[in-house]
Amino acid sequence: MSDLVNNDTGRRAPARQTLIRAVLRNPLGAAASFVILCVVLIAILAPLIAPQDPTAVQIFKVNAPWDAEFLLGGDGSGRDILSRLIFGARNTLLGALIVVGVSSTLGVAAGLIGGYYAGRADTVFSWVADGLMALPAIIVLLAFHQVLGSSIYYSMAVFGILLTPGFFRLTRNLVASVRNELYIDAARVSGLSDSRIIFRHVLKTVRPPLVIQVSIVAGIAIIIQAGLEFLGLGDSQVPTWGGMLQDGFANLYVAPEAVWWPGLAISLTVASFVLLANAVRDTLQQNQPTGRKLAVDPSPVSQDGDAADSADIILSVRDLAVGYPDGDRWREVVRDVSFNVRRGEILGIVGESGSGKSQTAFAILGLLASGGTVLRGSIRFEGRDVTKLDFAARHALRGSQIAYVPQEPMSNLDPSFKIGFQLMEPMRTVLGLSKAQARARALELLGHVGLPNPLRTFNAYPHQISGGMAQRVLIAGAISCNPKLLIADEPTTALDVTVQAEILKLLRNLQSELGMSVIMVTHNFGVVADLCDRVAVMQQGRIVEINAAGTLFATPEQDYTKMLLSCVLEDSPVRAYVAPTAGGGN
């Protein structure tokens, strides 16, 4: 069932009213709500609208086809199928209500306690939930049938217990994720009691996903209840959809139509609950990037030349704008960004998180996250606008011409493959090396990036090496296919301070040795000072200042740059200023 329930929809919870309205605006949501409303009304008004007494037997109507009196015909005992169908809605909904009531009450309570307090209670609850999930539900309900007695409702209550793990896990995970949010802390500090925090603040966050779960569980309950009644476990005096199917099954060879109506009633009702759940989920996800295609305005690309085609310039970015779909418009995270990178130059792109520096880097690589699009501008690599290239031509540039060193070393190695394989694979694809050649080069590269025991690292899985070693491996991978431009996205941020210095030294040495151009994305002016020839400062998606590193440090023009620089002086460890020529001269 979890496939139908998306667990991370709780964050942007719209108010209750707007949620209901939005669900009703969704055609499927409206149709599903309408069907459910009809079933509820039919159940309530059954004695008024049923044309016949559902238990009255007319001997001539046994397995009879439809006529004016029995609109859907008669069942195996000569009772009106339509009237039984109408009355069957009552016990169906009551059973579903019991299951939902029991499972949501127990599951949500356990989830709130387990998620909020964590610790031992959480361990015990999780263990019980695992145990309950290992039980085949119908088998257990059948086994307890004699103990529970002939009323189907006791069985449904037990089934409710079997379904608590779904509510428990959902609530527990949502609560655990908001437990340390600032507003909860604030409530705690302001002296609100735990129970009050849980009910006022935490429960509000988890409500919309619970609506989805309730809807799904109602559907499951209806199916299981019908199954038990079909097996003859219900009260044979009460008309039920499952019991009607049993009757139809017994007369399958005489009147096969009779199995259609109760089956359709069950399917339609359950489908409405599932579709309602889907509609709620879609509504909650509306603000998140959807698969919908937004049109990109073709805006004139400025052709100011600006030495863009000069042989010395390897990369020329002009008027770049990058956007992500937000509802039905684009949210621009990068705009009007223009800069050049010369051959053998190290360009730093500096800015706070969210300034658009990483998005600029990914736009150059053509690896924007899902939905991300270059809206305007051009990215010329060696004179060719790569944004105009097709997928294959663009992909052919990656690795061989433009390479990438990521920020977080451990998550950027595939945990399932040995490091040696991960190094060899691109070389074999991109450079067409044989297995032996690739192996030899991989070992050589591992030594080159300063790993003390290349063979051991080659044969290791990512989880067996340290973060610093992993970053060296990733640098080895990035340079393995002799790229002309290396894009390093905060390559030292995730590392220990001592390791940071070594990695920077390695990058500087490799750059001067291989003569690559480098774009160094960072928020750290220390790194810039260490390494970069020129610096671009980004703020809110724009470049506010771009200049030679020395000039920028000595005479920053923009207030924002001054502010960033003063931050460095105030709260970072003292770092000797290194003349930018150390890295740039080649």
Partner 1 sequence: MLMFLAKRLATGVILLASIATITFFLVFSGTQRVVVNILGQSATDADIAALTRKLGIDRPLLTQYADWLSHALRGDLGNAWTMDGSVTDILGRTLPVTLSIVAFAIAVMAILAALLGIAAATRSGWIDRLIQVLSVIGFSMPNFWLGLLLIIFFALTLQVLPATGFVSPASSVTGWLASITLPAGALILSGVASAAQQVRGAVLDALRQDYVRTLWARGVSPRSIFFRHALRNAVPAALTVLSVQFIALLSGSAVIERIFAIPGLGALTVQSAVVGDIPVLMGIVTSMVAVVVVVNLFIDLLNALANPKVRLS
HSE-up of 75 (CA within 13 Å, CB side)? 28
Residue pointed to by tokens 């973060």: 467
Of 381 and 525, CB closest to partner 1 = 381
DSSP three-state, residue 547 = strand
Of 278 and 283, CB closest to partner 1 = 278
Strands annotated E in 210-328: 313-326
Which residue among 35, 106, 157, 430 contacts partner 1 (CB under 8 A)? Answer: 430
Separation of alpha carbons 429 and 145, rounded Å: 63
- Cβ 535 vs Cβ 556: under 8 Å: no
Both ends of the chain: CA-CA distance in Å? 61
Residue pointed to by tokens 């937004």: 294
Least Å distance between CB 420 and partner 1? 13
The site for partner 1, by CB under 8 A, has a size of: 78
DSSP state of 293: P
Footprint (CB under 8 A) of partner 1, residues 499-528: none
Least Å distance between CB 346 and partner 1? 19
Least Å distance between CB 227 and partner 1? 5
Which residue among 27, 253, 297, 554 contacts partner 1 (CB under 8 A)? Answer: 253
Q: DSSP states of 141-189 as a string?
A: HHHTHHHH-S-HHHHHHHHHHHTHHHHHHHHHHHHHHHTTSHHHHHHHH
Nearest CA to 405 out of 471, 451, 349 is that of: 471
Strands 485-489 and 517-522: parallel
DSSP state of 112: H
Which residue among 41, 57, 124, 143 contacts partner 1 (CB under 8 A)? Answer: 143
- Cβ 191 vs Cβ 205: under 8 Å: no
Residue pointed to by tokens 């909860």: 184
Of 237 and 416, CB closest to partner 1 = 416
Of 222 and 321, CB closest to partner 1 = 222
Which amino acid is it at 411?
S
Least Å distance between CB 361 and partner 1? 10
Of 137 and 568, CB closest to partner 1 = 137
Footprint (CB under 8 A) of partner 1, residues 369-408: 370, 395-396, 398-400, 402-404, 406, 408
Separation of alpha carbons 222 and 263, rounded Å: 11
Which residue among 300, 415, 432, 573 contacts partner 1 (CB under 8 A)? Answer: 415
- Cα 346–Cα 348–Cα 352 angle in degrees, nearest 5: 165
Residue 432 Rama label (left phi>0; alpha psi -120 to 50; beta): left
Q: Is 36 in the site for partner 1 (CB under 8 A)?
A: no
Q: Is 434 in the site for partner 1 (CB under 8 A)?
A: no
Separation of alpha carbons 408 and 283, rounded Å: 34
Separation of alpha carbons 376 and 266, rounded Å: 53
Separation of alpha carbons 196 and 192, rounded Å: 6
Footprint (CB under 8 A) of partner 1, residues 4-23: 4
Of 338 and 358, CB closest to partner 1 = 358
Least Å distance between CB 341 and partner 1? 17
Least Å distance between CB 42 and partner 1? 18
Least Å distance between CB 397 and partner 1? 8
Exposed/middle/buried for residue 59 (C-beta within 10 Å: 0-12, 13-18, 19+): exposed
Q: φ and ψ at 188, to 5 degrees?
A: -65, -45
Least Å distance between CB 127 and partner 1? 9
Which residue among 1, 38, 514, 565 contacts partner 1 (CB under 8 A)? Answer: 1
Of 51 and 149, CB closest to partner 1 = 149
Of 3 and 570, CB closest to partner 1 = 3
Footprint (CB under 8 A) of partner 1, residues 192-221: 219
Which residue among 97, 259, 294, 514 contacts partner 1 (CB under 8 A)? Answer: 259
Least Å distance between CB 345 and partner 1? 21
Strands 534-539 and 346-351: parallel
Tokens of 11: 């964050």
Candidates 46-54, 140-148, 200-208, 546-554: pick the segment binding partner 1 (CB under 8 A). Answer: 140-148
Which residue among 249, 312, 515, 566 contacts partner 1 (CB under 8 A)? Answer: 249
**Contact track, partner 1, 286-315, x by CB under 8 A:** -----x------------------------
Least Å distance between CB 142 and partner 1? 4
**Contact track, partner 1, 98-137, x by CB under 8 A:** --------------------------------xx-xxxxx
Least Å distance between CB 158 and partner 1? 10
Distance of CA 358 to the CA centre of its chain: 20
Footprint (CB under 8 A) of partner 1, residues 460-499: 461, 463-464, 474, 477-478, 480-481
Nearest CA to 409 out of 501, 498, 505, 475 is that of: 475
Of 136 and 300, CB closest to partner 1 = 136
Of 215 and 547, CB closest to partner 1 = 215
Tokens of 155: 């069985």
Of 367 and 582, CB closest to partner 1 = 367
Residue pointed to by tokens 């996903």: 209
Least Å distance between CB 102 and partner 1? 17
Which residue among 38, 223, 250, 568 contacts partner 1 (CB under 8 A)? Answer: 223
- Cβ 352 vs Cβ 523: under 8 Å: yes
Of 223 and 544, CB closest to partner 1 = 223
Of 481 and 520, CB closest to partner 1 = 481
Tokens of 413: 């190695």
**Contact track, partner 1, 264-283, x by CB under 8 A:** --xxx-xx--xx--x-----
Q: Is 321 in the site for partner 1 (CB under 8 A)?
A: no
Separation of alpha carbons 365 and 402, rounded Å: 7
